[in-house]
Chains A and B, each alone.
Chain A
Amino acid sequence: MNEIFRILEQDARKTPEQIATMTGIPLAQVEETIKKAESDRTILKYKTMVNWDKLGEEQVWALAEVKVTPQRDVGFDAIAERIYRFPEARTVYLISGTYDLAVFVVGKTMHEVAGFVSEKLAPLEGVQGTVTHFLLKRYKEDGEIMDGEEGPKRVPIMP
């Protein structure tokens, strides 16, 4: 059954009919599985990966490392929630190591991103400190090489 999700994760536009053919799972079962997954948030949403550089639209991304003081009973969750509710914080992970939360921030300009970190993130109660790294170049994103991957150069006719 996980094969259905693997296919959709690679190409969200695959129809239930196509998935049924590809997997050999009956169509009704594919449809039901997808419907259920959509309603219980196993499937969060369908999205498209866009290479914004190609569109000439400037986007500034940064990784803000955030060191926080965990709170009694709720640990890191309460402070994480305070942070992830900001729309600028696109991705928020709790991680192990020298800091606690990795926050990927996006904005239109460097100024905007820096402003978010210094005015909204850093002053939060429980945040001990932040280190901000601006993203310079994307080579590969979620398994996709930005420049595209060269396929094999095959002889078109071979017995």
Chain B
Amino acid sequence: MKKRDLISKRVKDIPPSGIRRFFDIIASMDGVISLGVGEPDFVTPWHIREAGIYSLEKGYTSYTSNYGLLELREEIARYLKVRHNLDYDPERELLVTVGVSEGVDLALRAIVNPGDEVIIPDPSYVSYTSCTVLAGGVSVPVPTTIENDFKVKAQDIDKRINPRTKAILLGYPNNPTGAVMDREELLKVAEVAQRHSLIVISDEVYERLVYGVEHTCFASLPGMKERTILLGGFSKAYAMTGWRLGYAAATEEIIEAMMKIHQYTMMCAPTMAQMAAIKALKDGEAQVQEMVAEYNQRRRVMVKGLNDIGLTCFEPRGAFYTFPSIKSTGLSSDEFAERLLLEERVAVIPGSTFGQCGEGYVRCCYATSMAEIEEALERMGNFVKRHRAI
């Protein structure tokens, strides 16, 4: 009897994560310094945690509205108004999600028909391509390069548009590169989206983590609110990754569509997390600024350190990642990451994990203590000396 395939073709077609094997190596080693993390090294500020605890004490343990607590949506609307001068109706144009992760999935499933193409800058966060495929779409990478500080160019997007193109998925400040888009280029992207009637999904989970530059919210560009699905979150700015909370802001029509999926797959975002997030938005600003100031100091140390040891690194202006070139070693990014881990016990993520254009780079996260950053840089320096290509 022929053995029946248990797993769907769609899921099988998604390549396994290339970094899984690093887990096993790390688990078997002592004294590893990890620059491979993807989240803050701060614990959620106490007053936010305390709000979560208080909500449990008060018995807030039930479901909320599918859209999320109205009070939270009102706070999010206020935040978007104050920060980006955007007007979203908290009753119809906002949806509280289980992290930006769910937001990406909902956005894509809500708009993509089988075979529709989604344009995604390369390198980018790993979930974009997989979620596009899971939604039945086709991901179309647009290369970005170090020559342009890994910012995507509107003209490169334009070149890849055809009648099947449905959306552009932007993630800036960018994971893994730390690139931040400037307003002028985003205006050009907006023009392209307008001309071809495309939707722009904008993952702005790192919007608060920018250094010396302004973050431009895509939805705030002229005429873009109508065609943007803005995804925002609490994970990075408030160090709330484990709470699993984010939000989507878009037109009523799109939010309604996303909510349809959300109500059957998720019901609602965690209630305790929603209660804590209200507190975060109401008075978390001082802590956000303190954390940003710290990241900025570490960022400067990391960028200088990497350049000093011969791993050329452009100056990332956002998120908490540096993306140095490892070409001077002659190793592939995968080899580099594996050998660095085995020989010097420093974990980084191969750039190729984030798309073909990430080959030749590794992602180093500086959301880690200054002492660890300094030690990691020293170890990496020794590694590079040994492996310099002749």
Contacts and interface: CB of A to CB of B under 8 A. Distances in A.
Instruction: Answer yes or no: are A and B bound together in one complex.
Output: yes
Contacts of A23: 297, 300
A157 B300 contact: no
A151 B43 contact: yes
Nearest to A24: B300
Nearest to A7: B297
Contacts, number: 59
B300 A159 contact: no
Interface residues of A, number: 17
A158 B354 CA distance: 12
State the main secondary structure of chain A at its contact with B: loop
Nearest to A157: B36
A22 interface: yes
B301 interface: yes
Nearest to B368: A154
Interface centre among A18, A22, A150, A151 (most CB of B within 10 A): A22
A139 to B, nearest CB: 14
A3 interface: yes
Nearest to B40: A152
Interface size of B as a range: 20 to 34
A156 interface: yes
B304 A159 contact: no
Contacts of B300: 21-24
B341 to A, nearest CB: 9
Interface stretch (B15-23, B87-95, B184-192): B15-23
B325 interface: no
Nearest to A3: B293
A154 B354 CA distance: 21
B26 A156 contact: yes
B21 to A, nearest CB: 10
A1 interface: no
Contacts of B343: none
A156 B32 CA distance: 9
Given A7-B297, A24-B300, A151-B41, A156 B347 contact: yes
A157 B43 contact: no
Interface string B288-330: 0000010001101100100000000000000000000000000
Contacts of A21: 300-301, 304
Nearest to B127: A159
Interface of A: 3, 7, 18, 21-24, 149-152, 154-159
